[in-house]
Amino acid sequence: MSIPCEVKNDLRQATRIVSWVLSAACLLVFLFADPAATAQQLSGEQILREAPARIERYRMGDGEIVLLDREGKPIRDAVVHVQQKRHAFLFGCNIFLWGRIEDPQLQEAYLERFAALLNYATLPFYWPTYEPVRGNPGHDYAERVARWCQDRGIVTKGHPLAWNYADPRWLPEDPEEIFRLQLARIDDCVRRFRGLIDRWDVVNEATHFDREEFLKRAPRMTRMWQKIGQVEFTRACFIKARQASENAVLIINDYRTDPAYERLIEQLVDESGRRLYDVIGIQSHMHGGVWPTERIWEVCERFARFGVPLHFTETTIVSGPRTRPGQPWKTTPEGEEHQAREVERFYTVLFSHPAVEAITWWDFSDLRAWQGAPAGLVRADMSPKPAYDVLLGLVKGKWWTDIQVSTAEDGRARFRGFFGDYRVVVRLPDGTKLEREFALLKGKDNQWVIRLE
């Protein structure tokens, strides 16, 4: 697909104009905002102290079950068991070792512990390994993984559709042909998996796509990106993904959390100024130390201004000190206790921020983890670390709803629960048992009427 020079120039000019307008608008908002609110700086202690109240406010809602007999009259004194099945909030991890652990017992343990804790999985779509031979992409493997997740109520995401970390070996030299192939790949993947994988990291790490290591490692992809233009290429990828699926959730993802990322996001709009992305993805690999509470909060506040959900897409907290090059990086008892404490703090802050809707851990197990780090929630033998137990206690314990209530004279039973999917089991005074499934949704009236047939 060839773009004429005059069209490229128009695109670049339009991009500059849109960027200037958005920057000016942000400046006006800053200048005329409430000075007291703008200047407010929360301490880490205050952020953590107020987290439970924010979680109550932003992650929970009131539900009401109305129980009626066949004539429409209320039934009193029925026992209603309200059981949460899944969070609306996405607690996830990459699932890169699905089907790739040689030991069947370890593979089974990996999958069992994954499904017991998480409701969100990131599947690998790295072009060099996804399509090692031209015209032979790994669609079959991806579908098997996604079907396994679907059967267990685990939402899936593909990562990434476009990134210049490495060139597929068969990639041609011509930048225009590479660009055409890249857009065709996006269309193929998004269109093929509609209804099965509907969340996509469309472009990965676009803020610094031309850094020296990428020029060496992926010279053809990087030269193509340079030729098309940083923002122009990124915009084209999002436009193509949207054309392939109107209902897909499209994510821009980056490791940077500075103004460079903000400037890129500001320019990801179409000709009418409408944003091309649905979610802002934020990487938080913390191999060298965990972010202070104030920084976690500041990053959330910085990107919440765009008015879309924030996903923490790649979160790493290690469980052992870094070793010298060439030596194995091992988990330690002290490191595991530290990891558990920091996991609880990090997740609590993010779960309490109203803009955050997903957290994805990276990697689930120490086995073949990125950088060889002890980054897993479970060890290489799939035994759970304290961090796994802490997170399970939050996600399926402290932040989970499983209660019994009774219907009053008006046939109503009220409760407050975390947003998500529910099973409601009703036992009538005569011993009859009824089961229904509902969703407790933010912003809805959440009244569920059960009428005897």
Cβ density class 263-291: b for 16+ within 10 Å, e for less = ebbbbbbeeeeebbbbbbbbbbbeeeebb
Provide the pLDDT for residue 324. Answer: 85
Provide the pLDDT for residue 453. Answer: 87
Residues 390 and 375 in one domain: yes
Residue among 422, 282, 402 nearest 353 (CA): 282
CATH number at residue 302: 3.20.20.80
Distances in whole angstroms, Cα of residue 395 to Cα of each of 92, 204, 243, 300, 323? 11, 28, 36, 21, 32
Provide the pLDDT for residue 9. Answer: 47
- Residue 69 pLDDT class (50, 70, 90 cuts): very high
The string of pLDDT tens digits covering residues 351-368 is 999 999 999 999 999 999
Residues 58 and 108 in one domain: no
Provide the pLDDT for residue 40. Answer: 57
The string of pLDDT tens digits covering residues 270-299 is 999 999 999 999 999 999 999 999 999 999
Residue 1 has pLDDT above 80, yes or no: no
Any domain includes 181: yes
Q: Which residues contact 5 (CB under 8 A, 6 or more apart)?
A: none
Provide the pLDDT for residue 41. Answer: 83
- Using omega within 30 degrees of 0 as the cis cutoff, is the peptide bond preceding 363 cis? yes
Residues 64 and 175 in one domain: no
Residues 303 and 415 in one domain: no
Provide the pLDDT for residue 24. Answer: 42
Tell me which of 383, 398, 413 is where a domain ends.
398
Q: Does residue 15 or residue 310 have the better pLDDT?
A: 310
Any domain includes 344: yes
The string of pLDDT tens digits covering residues 38-67 is 335 889 999 999 999 999 999 999 999 999
Residues 426 and 394 in one domain: no
- Residue 325 pLDDT class (50, 70, 90 cuts): confident
- Percent of the chain topping pLDDT 90: 89
Residues 257 and 112 in one domain: yes
In this prediction, residues 387-406 reach a mean pLDDT of: 98
Average pLDDT, the chain: 92
Residues 212 and 73 in one domain: no
Residue 31 has pLDDT above 80, yes or no: no
- Percent of the chain topping pLDDT 70: 91
The string of pLDDT tens digits covering residues 206-246 is 999 998 999 999 999 999 999 999 999 999 999 999 999 99
- Residue 323 pLDDT class (50, 70, 90 cuts): confident
For the chain, how many structural domains are there in total? 2
In this prediction, residues 80-94 reach a mean pLDDT of: 98
Residues 308 and 365 in one domain: yes
In this prediction, residues 306-320 reach a mean pLDDT of: 98
CATH number at residue 410: 2.60.40.1120
- Residue 17 pLDDT class (50, 70, 90 cuts): very low
Residues 359 and 261 in one domain: yes
Any domain includes 439: yes
Tell me which of 398, 419, 435 is where a domain ends.
398
Residue among 111, 120, 88 nearest 198 (CA): 120
Tell me which of 398, 421, 443 is where a domain ends.
398
What is the domain range of residue 317? 89-398
Distance CA 325, CA 322 (A): 9
In this structure, are residues 14 and 268 in contact, taking their beta carbons and an 8 Å threshold?
A: no
Residues 405 and 278 in one domain: no
Residues 332 and 414 in one domain: no
Residues 188 and 301 in one domain: yes
